[in-house]
Amino acid sequence: MAGLGQAPSSYVNDFNGLGKKRTKIVLQIMLEDSLVSNKEYKDTLQYIDRDFAMSMKKGQHEDAASQSYLVQVRNEMAKLNLPTYANVTIKTYADINQLHKLKEIVDFKDAPVTQMESQVMPEGGLNAISVVDTKTGHILGLATNAKNPLTPVTSERSSGSSIKPLLDYAPAIEFAGINAGSILNGNNTAYSDGTPLRNYGLYQYGAVNASYALGNSLNTAAYQAFMMTNLQQKNAIMRPLNIAKGSYMESESLGLNISTLKEASAYQAIGNDGVHIEARAISNVDVDGKAWPIPKPKVERAMSSSTSKTLIQMMQGVTAANGSEPKAAQPQWPNAFAAKSGLVGFDDEITAKVTAKYGNVMPSSDAWMAATSSGVSVSAWVGTPDFSGNTFIIGGGNQPENNARVYLLNNTIRYMNPEKLEPFTYSGETLNPTTLTRALPDVPNNANDTIYKDAKGFKAPTPKVDDSLKAFKEAH
């Protein structure tokens, strides 16, 4: 209503008090100026004096455990075109007790469920976790230690290697025909422009199979898998996961900007036979006692059943004894859990600044753990508030700061899952390949010169074969 915009922080947040008082003043002025009829004035007063179900109680507003989840609820509410003057009741998939538990976890007040030397947050560091039901896409939990509750929902940081199963290996399995035993390059290499590309720790591994490469997070092998597919093939998988881009830099094969909610939702498809279900928090809405229509979630196959199965088999090497993150292993759930870690370094200048002050600590700006199980899928992030190097995560599997990401994942997924999980199941269904070929131009009977010219100029895309693909062909 006119005039309410003068102080929205007061009138909107306290509508039952200051807001209603201001509305009645404005309404009275409108009546006196004949902008509304006497009947409209009285009818509106009746609405103003009603209690609004969406008004938060004091305790709810101050409950830090629910703030991130409420952000997502409000995002979904904005798409429902709810009436302004009505009693609206929102029901969600969250359990308040679970939200409180997740808040304890991100605040590092929950006892670790697995044995580690120690687990601490870097001083001044931030974190976030998102939990999605693998079978339904329901958002079960969102939490952060940051003052900004938007962090799990909208804050996007480089994923590091946790993107490799989705952007690199899934398309290569689906369209380039690689499998867990395919031989990939484990030695240092270079990007197309000549920029050096090395593995973590500068290690050289020689020829390795794909399962070992993903389990040990070899950058050079992931890059090779990334280069085996084109943009259209990558986005045939990334688009249904809602994380597609119009183009990808080669360096994004090792890290793509993403939020914990988007990543947990994407991993949900891996554990759900390759089928992605749109993540959502709201279960139902009642308006004045009547059910309000809610759009059905978008359900779309993101990869073939066989691709999800191969991915899970390969990802299980991550938490094996010789994998990149064995501390995140969940042996109590055989064939029902798979995970991937991620670590992001600073640029050379900041790295040099940190190592000059603290020694050879291999500083990182972001650390991730993403996992799927037949119960829930989780994304956990630990990171720095900025990229100055004043706050950093010490890389390396035995460092306490690096253990922080494992603590977040282990405590979250064990709490949100039952003690026993059924193994993953696979339908054998395939991804529809029709979107991967460019359609021939349509030439109608009454075609003009321009249409004929376009048709004659049509050229099917020619596959690019580089040295890595030739070597792959020879090896097989």
Q: What confidence tens digit (pLDDT) does each residue in 322-335 have?
A: 999 999 999 999 99
pLDDT at 441: 46
* Token pair in block for residue 157: 């940081």
Helix/strand/coil percent split, the chain, to 5: 40, 15, 45
The DSSP bridge partners found for residue 280 are 138
pLDDT at 471: 61
- Residue 218 CA to residue 254 CA, distance in Å, equals 10
pLDDT at 451: 56
E strand segments, 153-279: 157-158, 183-185, 189-190, 196-197, 207-209, 257-258, 275-277
- The 10 Å Cβ neighbour count of residue 298 is 12
The DSSP bridge partners found for residue 183 are 209
User: Would you place residue 43 in the very low, low, confident or very high pLDDT band (cuts 50, 70, 90)?
Assistant: confident
Residues 302, 196 share a domain: yes
Quick one: average pLDDT of 111-130? 82
Quick one: average pLDDT of 361-384? 94
- DSSP states of 375-396: SEEEEEEEE-SSSSSSS-EEPS
Quick one: average pLDDT of 184-194? 96
Number of Cα atoms under 13 Å in the Cβ half of residue 88:
18
Mean confidence (pLDDT) of the chain: 86
pLDDT at 440 over 50: no
Quick one: average pLDDT of 353-365? 85
Considering the chain, what percentage of its residues have pLDDT values greater than 90? Answer: 64
Residues 330, 262 share a domain: yes
Quick one: average pLDDT of 439-460? 54
- Choosing from 93, 127, 153, the residue where a domain stops is 93
- The 10 Å Cβ neighbour count of residue 471 is 15
Q: Which residue has the higher pLDDT, 138 or 396?
A: 138
Residues 230, 206 share a domain: yes
Q: How many domains does the chain have?
A: 2
Quick one: average pLDDT of 464-476? 58
Residues 103, 88 share a domain: no
Helix axes 260-271, 305-315, angle to 10 degrees: 110
CATH of the domain at 335: 3.40.710.10
Q: What confidence tens digit (pLDDT) does each residue in 273-308 have?
A: 999 999 999 999 999 999 999 999 999 999 999 999
- Choosing from 416, 433, 465, the residue where a domain stops is 416
Residues 190, 325 share a domain: yes
pLDDT at 217: 96
Q: Is residue 425 part of a domain?
A: no
Residue 369's domain comprises 98-416
Residues 166, 86 share a domain: no
Quick one: average pLDDT of 241-255? 97
User: Would you place residue 354 in the very low, low, confident or very high pLDDT band (cuts 50, 70, 90)?
Assistant: confident
pLDDT at 469 over 70: no
pTM: 0.79
- Choosing from 416, 433, 453, the residue where a domain stops is 416
Residues 230, 127 share a domain: yes
pLDDT at 465 over 60: no
pLDDT at 291: 96
Residues 317, 228 share a domain: yes
pLDDT at 439: 41
